[in-house]
A and B are shown apart, each in its own frame.
Chain A
């Protein structure tokens, strides 16, 4: 009876493995099939012969590398700015003695409840007037802004707990606030900085709507938007579409494969502290 119960429970654990992973595996098989094999509609079949040329065609007919490098650029710059700006703000909020620290924190917290889409239209108008629509800045700036609240929150929570003695002695030794921030606070704050990096990376790397609204030049598109364009343009050759989707998913899947523990931990920390 007990064994039976255990069996049921293990079966229960196995079902989500199938439902969560099989669609991804299916996509991989799909990307290696001919159109005929795809259209016959069987939900589980291996291609007779792996059609690697689907990948070759997807690669040569789309601008995969361009999209990829745009995504890397936009995401990396956003992450650097978020970490720099948010850790400075978090430092001021958590360690300085001043009247408005809590007010500023509340302002940041309020932002977490504001849906990004609600700012699409006004941002577009603002960016149009600033003449930065259809540049990477029109993405990077709002990406930074929308990533800061959670970053400030996580970082200031951590910094509050750093013992004051370290700072005091450095201060007595004549180190400036800037120096303390750079050589003491930042180095010890590596764990929360990693969490912020992960959260920002996942959110920004995958962001689609702002990119699709603010960017119109082919050469500026980020990966998600690029994948979308490719799929809607080449809607006849299913294998190529599958291949491009797999290529689009690949960077983040690879990173997840190597860093899954850090990523899941980071995402939980982001959720729980938010």
Chain B
């Protein structure tokens, strides 16, 4: 029930500043980019309307595009695989420690740091031994000299090195979300289950898992959207190189627009990115809503 019946002018005063700013800076740009995606344009000279030419190029002729889509999706899968691990850990934390908040805050520390700091930190960790890289140093002192690599400049490995950094940074984030979810499950449920003879893993299977589904969904969506947008980390650490080996959709867009000055083409990739985001969020939502209904 909304009590306040106010004149339209008052509503406008309250809502318009926020709404206008928001629409002008989020929706209008997307529309602009839908349009510029249909142009052949370098941003300076006059543009030429070429219809879906950019999209055709993108899907059929661009050797970088599909690999970058694949890497983006792999990024998403990798980050989602981390979440069950975090859930398991959250359940253990809740069972073995009375108040694990401090511990969880410690795990969380990397989340609050800027991607620039994280990126540069890991660049120095990944450095070759000759430059004092920590990872290779660890491997050498374990006698695993043959495992040392140039983690960011070998094309086969560079992308995995980036996945690892993301997993490292967001481990604490997902753990925190799952832990909060597990904590919010009322103790009485477990006590009742114990009386019925179900504790430990059995209780987790029949109480924790069904009740954690909504929280799990949130983590999955966040991980997925986060990976589609995993952009700044790649930009800071490799810029998409060596030789496009670490390009994801968004860095490919950025490099096409701002490095090669193909504004039209870059906009077409941006459009694709928006569509992928919307479609996949929709899919994940539907799947989980079904799952929730099945359990409840």
Contact = CB atoms under 8 A, between A and B. Distances in A.
Contact of B26 (A114, A125, A171): A114
Which secondary structure dominates where chain A touches chain B? helix
B120 A245 contact: yes
Interface string A247-274: 0110011001000110110011001101
10 contacts: A17-B106, A42-B137, A120-B270, A122-B36, A152-B18, A171-B4, A238-B132, A249-B113, A260-B108, A261-B101
A223 B253 CA distance: 25
A245 B235 contact: no
A136 interface: no
Contacts, number: 289
Given A113-B278, A145-B22, A181-B14, 6 more contacts: A13-B103, A21-B109, A23-B134, A145-B24, A224-B115, A228-B236
Contacts of B92: 9, 12-13
Interface residues of B, number: 101
Contacts of B228: 115
Interface residues of A, number: 96
A74 interface: no
Nearest to B7: A177
A205 B19 CA distance: 23
Contacts of B18: 85-86, 88-89, 148, 152
A131 interface: no
Which secondary structure dominates where chain B touches chain A? helix
A206 B29 CA distance: 23
A1 interface: no
A225 interface: yes
B136 A115 contact: no
A16 interface: yes
A121 B264 CA distance: 10
A114 B30 contact: yes
Interface string B239-279: 00000000000100110011000010011001101100110
A86 B97 CA distance: 39
Interface string A226-240: 011001000000100
A93 B15 contact: yes
A130 to B, nearest CB: 11
Contact of B32 (A6, A13, A125, A224): A125
